[in-house]
Amino acid sequence: MSNPSLVLNKVDDISYENYESPKIDASNEVIVEVKKTGICGSDIHYYAHGKIGEFVLTKPMVLGHESAGVVVQVGDSVKSLKVGDKVAIEPGIPSRYSDAYKSGHYNLCPHMCFAATPNSKEGEPNPPGTLCKYYKSQEDFLFKLPDHVSLELGAMVEPLTVGVHAARLANLKFGEHVVVFGAGPVGLLTAAVARKFGAASVTVVDIFDNKLQMAKDIGAATHTFNSKSSKPFHEALPSGHQPDVVLECTGAEVCIQQGVLALKPSGRFVQVGNAGSNVLFPITEFATKELTLFGSFRYGYGDYSTSVSILDDNYKDGKENALIDFEALITHRFKWDDAIKAYDTVRAGSGAVKCIIDGPE
């Protein structure tokens, strides 16, 4: 069978290609027919610049890593899934032999095979992305979706899990006060996670009023603050509460600084967004408050299943009774034949929050 795929050849060059469909080689493998895929900011960065940090595009790469689909074939030892099941795809599989994997930090595995992430090693192919008709994964990196969770929502599990990982790193507790910097897709989903974890308040900070309004409209924020306003930041916080937790999703130096300054003593700070370069950091404030700083990279054990559980709980009583309107984040939908247009739309910054592409028919 042919496997239609969307391929990034080099900067500014995306094309449709047909490859051979993947085949099951091991008893724990599963073939998924991809139905829905979201566009991530990292995809756009590779499209525009050809690299992110040490990951440099040197050969063509199938795009996509935010996907959901339907199981079409399973290996002989697969027990938790069957043909016809809807699944969310966790797109990174570590080495089962690495110290990171064995110590419970598989997201830090130096041998991670992560979908649509360039492999610059000469003679080795790039890990395949998920923007194709058929994608092969391993049983324990596929997560069955409840009946009332759509495939579109399944494609949002990946970015939602970034927020889950950050909240779990912070050991976010019921009744705590949270500030989220950044109202892009990851920031909005991270704020939504904080709400679902039981935060007493979630204040979202950004410089665009329309993004802040969306944070409120979908139920992710209890409070918002436009950092361009002349209003002092502390006045935007509920009843003057200093945050227990800051989840920083921009990577902007000023936001990192403001987050440290805003935190209450013994508070926790999680860096989710990537900074473009080194930043000036208020180390004295950090030390005298006895703050705790966490770096956050992708997601680890239990994070994906937690995200699926969040969506399950959110929609179990119907969309009209959901705490968070996750579906409202999907602002653009494209058919497979318009996938390149979808990438250009997001790259142009034309107001897309989350863009979903249908899989090949």
Q: What is the CATH number of the domain that holds 123?
A: 3.90.180.10
State the virtual CA torsion across 213, 215, 220, 225 in degrees, nearest 10: -80
Query: Does 318 map to a domain?
Result: no
111 and 164, same domain (yes or no): no
Q: Which of these three, 275, 295, 315, is where a domain ends? A: 295
Query: Does 181 map to a domain?
Result: yes
Q: In angstroms, rounded to a whole number, what is the distance separating the alpha carbons of residues 101 and 233?
A: 41
Q: In angstroms, rounded to a whole number, what is the distance separating the alpha carbons of residues 10 and 114?
A: 19
14 and 40, same domain (yes or no): yes
111 and 216, same domain (yes or no): no
Query: Do 37 and 357 contact (CB within 8 A), yes or no?
Result: yes
Query: Does 130 map to a domain?
Result: yes
67 and 188, same domain (yes or no): no
Residues with Cβ within 8 Å of 118's Cβ and at least 6 positions away in sequence, in order, are: 46, 51, 55, 56, 57, 58, 59, 61, 126
Q: In angstroms, rounded to a whole number, what is the distance separating the alpha carbons of residues 17 and 15?
A: 6
Q: Residue 99 CA to chain centroid, in angstroms?
A: 25
214 and 244, same domain (yes or no): yes
Q: In angstroms, rounded to a whole number, what is the distance separating the alpha carbons of residues 251 and 279?
A: 9
For 67, 245, 324, 346, the CA distances from 40, given in Å and listed in that order, are: 11, 25, 21, 9
Query: pLDDT averaged over consecutive 10-residue blocks of the chain (361 residues)?
Result: 95 97 98 98 94 91 98 98 98 96 96 90 82 98 97 98 98 98 97 98 96 98 94 84 97 96 97 93 98 98 98 96 97 98 94 95 88
267 and 333, same domain (yes or no): no
pLDDT value for 137: 98
Q: 94: domain range?
A: 2-144+329-358
Query: Does 123 map to a domain?
Result: yes
Question: What CATH number is attached to the domain comprising 198?
Answer: 3.40.50.720
HSE, side-chain direction, 13 A CA sphere, residue 59: 10
Q: Which of these three, 295, 313, 344, is where a domain ends? A: 295
The per-residue DSSP string of 289-328 comes to: TT-EEEE--S--TTHHHHHHHHHHHHHTT-GGG-SS-GGG
6 and 137, same domain (yes or no): yes
| Crossing angle of helices 157-169 and 303-315, rounded to 10° | 110
281 and 187, same domain (yes or no): yes
Please calculate the CA angle 129-135-141 and round it to the nearest 5 degrees.
90
Query: Does 324 map to a domain?
Result: no
Instruction: Give the total number of structural domains in the chain.
Output: 2
Q: Which of these three, 295, 320, 340, is where a domain ends? A: 295
191 and 103, same domain (yes or no): no
Query: Does 259 map to a domain?
Result: yes
Please calculate the CA angle 59-37-135 and round it to the nearest 5 degrees.
65
216 and 189, same domain (yes or no): yes
Q: In angstroms, rounded to a whole number, what is the distance separating the alpha carbons of residues 288 and 230?
A: 28
φ/ψ of 251, rounded to 5, equals 80, 0
129 and 218, same domain (yes or no): no
State the virtual CA torsion across 142, 147, 152, 153 in degrees, nearest 10: -80
Q: In angstroms, rounded to a whole number, what is the distance separating the alpha carbons of residues 74 and 318?
A: 31
Query: Does 179 map to a domain?
Result: yes
Query: Does 26 map to a domain?
Result: yes
177 and 251, same domain (yes or no): yes
